[in-house]
Amino acid sequence: MPKAKETLLEIDLNALDDNYRYLTSKLKPETKVLAVVKAFAYGSDSVVVAKELVELGVDYFSVAYANEGTTLRNAKIETPILVLHPLPVNFEEIVDRCMEPSIYSRKILEEFIAFAEEKKQTNYPIHLKFNTGLNRLGFVEEDISWIAEILSKSQSIKVKSVFSHLAASEDLNLREFTLGQIETFRKISEKLISKLGYKPLLHCANTSGIINYPEAHFDMVRTGIGLYGFGNDKEENKHLKPIGTLKTIISQIHTVQKGESVGYNRGFIAEKITRSATLSIGHADGIPRSYGKGKGWVTINDEKAPILGNVCMDMIMVDVTNINCEEGDEAIIFGPSTTAEELSAAINSISYELITAISQRVKRVVLRK
């Protein structure tokens, strides 16, 4: 690969393909796959990623909000799209662009039925979200009779799927809790199906659920972070490859004398003569101020360069005292070698937070087959 000449995020579609195939190898042939492409496909590029997944045969996409789905529709992606967190103000957009809302409360169900009836819809697909322990969004078991009754009074909507979300599927120390969630979901689904008189798709497994709980695969699984190269487990990470590599370049190198400081508020004071390299990336690009002052590093010519002082809006400074480098050289923030998971651990964070924070001003470069 050519060396970077500016700040950019490389998106490796070969890695995406491999990750998809690894995850689907754990499923039965008839199990459907829903790919989560919210938040710009976890900080990459939702259109590029979605188009590749269409070629791979994905069955469904999900986004958090309606405007994310509209981006896919504008790119002529016709695959069904589940909107995980629809808001009444977006119902018009959802129906106009043929997206499918997650319905998670009595208020949202009543409002969507009223909207669908006003628009003279028939059997418009909805997805019923049940809370089995995450306590974030969702109906509870006691709502089933009410749901069945209100659905029986309207022909405007039809339940396409029933789903829930596992709270701790990556933590095998909480296996008993997760198995309890799965059993609760099974019980809720059976009760609801008996009242509906037909069987919607059932799904509750996320990436870690795919890997750790085959009994939770049901009719469809949802995968997000796994597609982007992280399995929430060191052993599983060996089978997955991060699709994103964040790079920048050295803009200038300074020799900092003992006692001199680097950056705002004198965040670093040299205890000896230090070579400091200024890189063209900062917190406006997604590198939080939690880094610096001994936390975090970049890789330059295969060597770790610790971040010095405070992260600036558009720049960071790193220690290259013992690294053979010069202005214009490439610096890798994270990628397959130093992963976002490893780097985020330096500030007690997680890969999700780091990769989804990459600013849209950072240039995306797609590496194709």
- Tens digit of each residue's pLDDT (9 = 90 or more) over 235-256: 899 999 999 999 999 999 999 9
Contact 139, 170 (CB under 8 A): no
Per-residue pLDDT tens over the stretch 27-74? 999 999 999 999 999 999 999 999 999 999 999 999 999 999 999 999
Share of the chain above pLDDT 90, in %: 97
pLDDT of residue 28: 97
198 catalytic? Reply is no
The mean-pLDDT minimum among 229-238, 254-263, 273-282 falls in: 229-238
Tell me what the mean pLDDT of segment 146-171 comes to.
97
pLDDT surpassing 80 at residue 131: yes
pLDDT of residue 179: 98
Which position among 38, 129, 241, 247 bears the catalytic label? Answer: 38
Same fold, 31-228 and 244-367: no
Contact 159, 139 (CB under 8 A): no
Which position among 5, 119, 258, 264 bears the catalytic label? Answer: 264
38 catalytic? Reply is yes
Token pair belonging to 143:
């709502």
pLDDT of residue 294: 84
Q: Does domain 244-367 have CATH number 3.90.1150.10?
A: no
Q: Coil, strand, or helix at residue 97?
A: coil
Per-residue pLDDT tens over the stretch 305-322? 999 999 999 999 999 999
Q: Does domain 31-228 have CATH number 3.20.20.10?
A: yes
Taking the domains of the chain in order of start, what are their residue ranges? Answer: 31-228, 244-367
- Please calculate the CA angle 205-206-207 and round it to the nearest 5 degrees: 125
pLDDT surpassing 90 at residue 233: no
